[in-house]
Amino acid sequence: MNAREKEFLMKKYRDLRVQYEEHNKAFNTNPSIARIEPFRIADGLYYVGDRKVCIHLIDAGEGLILIDSGYLGATHLLIDSIFRAGFDPKNVRWILHTHGHSDHFGASDEFRSMYGTRLAISRVDAEMIRQKPHYAHVNGNSFPFAKIPEFDYEIEDGEIFEYGNARIRCVLTPGHTQGVLSLFFPVTDCGVRHMAGLFGGAGVKAITLPYICYNEDPEDCPQQMLQSIERIWDEKVTVHLGNHPYNNYTIEKRERQLREGGNPFVDPDSWHSFLSRLQGQVKNVMADNETIKAEMKAFLNESPK
Ligand SMILES: [Zn+2]
């Protein structure tokens, strides 16, 4: 990518950021509009996130683990949800991060300083953020005081993260960031064993050319995401968790559960229907990226230096 191409794509990126900030304005002004009551998904597994970002709590016996911590501005919602789920936030021993974006580690720094919570992330994303802090998207207007926390532990591809009675298998699935971790761990519900699975970074905006340019990511991020989908396709996931609620229809499933009872989160079809949908989205982005490239070429030819 040469300097003029970069300039063209960065302008597009800034326009997209303005749209994004606008889209998030109501939430940033009053995060409680995204609040939902926490609820149980399976034995020892709870939803303590909001309508914007998923946060899961695992009761590991000797302490609690959170998977991600949401936006900085919603920290109070998370703390409230942990209490309402019947736990004490001071017992959160670990926060395991799916990837290094600020909407997934917003509350982590405060948990670390208030409760001594240790923070874990993939080694790859830890390194990406060390090399280029803008990679974490903490420099928006929404939360001017957001900062990257210090991470206490860096996870390798394929590692089993063990704490208390929790054993969480972490698989590197790059695309959304270079260090996305997808997580797999056994749970039980009504005496039946299940495999919980979470694809750790499914937003396709990050693999559009303007974002790739800003992040200084490899241009083949979309192909990486397709390979990541292949990589975890055969996982026998029967309790599909979201990274954002729209991944697994968290909110709709919870509403159905409140209406009809049962446990809609135990659903052997959800994993593959999500992954197929995601494949389609990635292919659309790949086509859009080609359109942007053509547009860029035409623009740069029409306005030579
Ligand atoms: Zn992200």
144 pLDDT above the threshold of 90: no
Mean pLDDT over 158-180 rounds to: 98
62: which residues sit within 8 A by CB, 6+ positions away? 93, 163, 164, 165
Mean pLDDT over 121-126 rounds to: 98
What residue ranges do the domains of the chain occupy? 3-302
Going from the Cα of 85 to the center of ligand 1, the distance in angstroms, rounded, reads 26
pLDDT digits (tens, 9 = 90+) for 183-225: 999 999 999 999 999 999 999 999 999 999 999 999 999 999 9
139 pLDDT above the threshold of 90: no
Mean pLDDT over 150-154 rounds to: 98
Going from the Cα of 203 to the center of ligand 1, the distance in angstroms, rounded, reads 6
Going from the Cα of 300 to the center of ligand 1, the distance in angstroms, rounded, reads 31
Percent of the chain with pLDDT over 70: 99
Going from the Cα of 259 to the center of ligand 1, the distance in angstroms, rounded, reads 32
Q: Calculate the average pLDDT of the chain.
A: 96
Write down the pLDDT at residue 142.
Answer: 78
Can you list the positions of beta strands (E) in 3-139? 39-42, 45-47, 56-59, 64-67, 92-96, 118-122
Going from the Cα of 21 to the center of ligand 1, the distance in angstroms, rounded, reads 15
pLDDT digits (tens, 9 = 90+) for 44-66: 999 999 999 999 999 999 999 99
290 pLDDT above the threshold of 80: yes
Fold of 3-302: Metallo-beta-lactamase; Chain A (3.60.15)
143 pLDDT above the threshold of 90: no
305 pLDDT above the threshold of 70: no
141 pLDDT above the threshold of 80: no
CA atoms within 13 A on the CB side of 186: 8
Going from the Cα of 242 to the center of ligand 1, the distance in angstroms, rounded, reads 12
Going from the Cα of 228 to the center of ligand 1, the distance in angstroms, rounded, reads 15
pLDDT digits (tens, 9 = 90+) for 226-238: 999 999 999 999 9
Look up the pTM and report it: 0.96
What does the alpha-carbon distance between residue 38 and residue 82 come to, in Å, rounded to a whole number? 8
Going from the Cα of 282 to the center of ligand 1, the distance in angstroms, rounded, reads 15
Going from the Cα of 260 to the center of ligand 1, the distance in angstroms, rounded, reads 33
Going from the Cα of 287 to the center of ligand 1, the distance in angstroms, rounded, reads 21
284 pLDDT above the threshold of 80: yes
Going from the Cα of 53 to the center of ligand 1, the distance in angstroms, rounded, reads 10
What does the alpha-carbon distance between residue 171 and residue 13 come to, in Å, rounded to a whole number? 29
Write down the pLDDT at residue 304.
Answer: 66
SS (H, E, C) 206-224: HHCHHHHHHHCCCCCHHHH
Going from the Cα of 95 to the center of ligand 1, the distance in angstroms, rounded, reads 16
What does the alpha-carbon distance between residue 214 and residue 278 come to, in Å, rounded to a whole number? 23
Going from the Cα of 176 to the center of ligand 1, the distance in angstroms, rounded, reads 6
Going from the Cα of 101 to the center of ligand 1, the distance in angstroms, rounded, reads 5
pLDDT digits (tens, 9 = 90+) for 63-103: 999 999 999 999 999 999 999 999 999 999 999 999 999 99
**Tokens 């942990």 correspond to what residue?**
82
At residue 147 the predicted structure's pLDDT band, cuts being 50, 70 and 90, is confident
